[in-house]
Structures are given as C-alpha cells and as structure tokens.
Amino acid sequence: MKNIVILAAGPPKKNRNRHLEIKSGKTVIDIVIDACKSETENLYAVVDKENIDLINHIKNKVSIIHPRDQKIYSTFEAALSIVGDTLMVAGDLVNVKSEDIKRFSETKYKSATSLYKYPWAYSNPTSAHPNLIRRSDLGDCMSLIAQEHKKEFLSNDNQVVCRWLYKQFNPNKPIDEYWYNDIGTYTSFAFFKEIYSNPDCNSFGEKGTVYFENVVYADND
C-alpha cells in the first residue's frame, strides 16, 4: 500500500470531541497516529474544517484533507482522492497497534477488509432475504482499497447496492447520510458483498480479508 488515511471527519459534538479524549494516557487520535506512522507509506487524516481543536492538535503530525461536506460519502471521496493504494483507518480506535496496520501492508490482496476472531455481534440474516447475511466477524475499522478499485468503491452502482443492502437490514429506518454506521458500513458491505454475505467466503478475486485475533475494532464511540 502507498497511503494510510485516518478517518476523523466527524464534527465534534456539544461538549465532546471524541478524537481528543484521553485513553491510556494519550489522546485517541494520537494512539491512531502513532500506530499508523510509517517510513514507507504517506500518512493523512480526513478532518472536518470546522473541527479547529483537532486540526490544531494534529497539523504538525499528519497531512490534513478536508471533505467537501459532512456526509460520510464525502469522507470516502476525500480519503481516496490521494493517488495510490490506500488503507483507511477509523480515527477513534483505542487499541490499535502498529503491527495491526502492518498486516495490511503484507496482505496478498489488492483490496481487503478486517476479519475478526471475536465478532462484534451476531451475524444477521434478513427476514425478506434469508440467504443474505451481514457478517459480524467482518468490519471496516480498517479497509485497504487499491488504486484500481477506487472508482468501483466510489461508484454510483456501489451506492445503489449500499442503499439496497441497508434497506434489507433496516426496513423501517431511513438511511442517514451523516452517520458512519449507515453509509460507511454499508458502502463497505456493498464493495465486499461477496465476502460480507457468505460466512464461508473470506476472499473473492482480488479482494480479501486481513485476520485479527485481538479486538482491534474497539473504538471511542
């Protein structure tokens, strides 16, 4: 991979800026930055232009990219605007280590998402489509998107699938363009759909998974 991009574009909430909270004696964003530092990959962070405190905290540590608005799709656009294979890393991971990031530089797959030994929930089939499953042993706390796959990831076709998948699992809830668990998670689901929807499949063509036995997805939400 060529680039590592930390996704920290969520605007601060009233009385809370989760990326700047302290965990284990360090700010959460510093935990992620320290894990992502590399001599071989370029390091960036996507940050909302209104998050002045976060910008000031990291401006001398990483290159900052601003999304065009606060929608999650815009965060992806900004992150993948850098030329070259790009690892996107959630900006509020509290347990991430440099060896976790290194696993993606060693993968044989061009694009890859995270496979967990300890699922974050139960795998969830839909009632309308019982063969369609959202696996909970997969997640996008870290996802590698190859340069040649970026157009597909950001495509309108992928967004159509994203919204269709979301509706199957959330039939009575409108999708929130500003909420990562909606647009973010289901955009990744759509892009890796052959893997996400088959418990017996951990790779499909040039796409695959990177395995973690530690609870790397633990975040500061």
Fold of 3-212: Spore Coat Polysaccharide Biosynthesis Protein SpsA; Chain A (3.90.550)
- The secondary structure of residue 180, as a DSSP letter, is I
> How many Cα atoms are found within 13 Å in the side-chain-facing hemisphere of 55?
11
Residue 133 near residue 197, CB atoms below 8 Å:
yes
Residue-level pLDDT at 1: 62
Q: Is the pLDDT of residue 221 over 80?
A: no
Rounded to an integer, the average pLDDT of 10-28 is: 87
Percent of the chain with pLDDT over 70: 100
Q: Is the pLDDT of residue 63 over 90?
A: yes
pLDDT category of residue 121 using cuts at 50, 70 and 90: confident
**Coil, helix or strand at residue 202:** coil
Query: Which of 80-84, 116-120, 129-133 comes out lowest in average pLDDT?
Result: 129-133
Write the pLDDT tens digit of every residue in 189-202: 999 999 999 999 99
- Kindly tell me the number of DSSP H helices and DSSP E strands found in the chain: 8, 12
With a threshold of 0.85, does the pTM exceed it?
yes
Residue-averaged pLDDT of the chain = 94
Sequence spans of domains, the chain: 3-212
Q: How far apart are CA 211 and CA 214, in angstroms?
A: 9
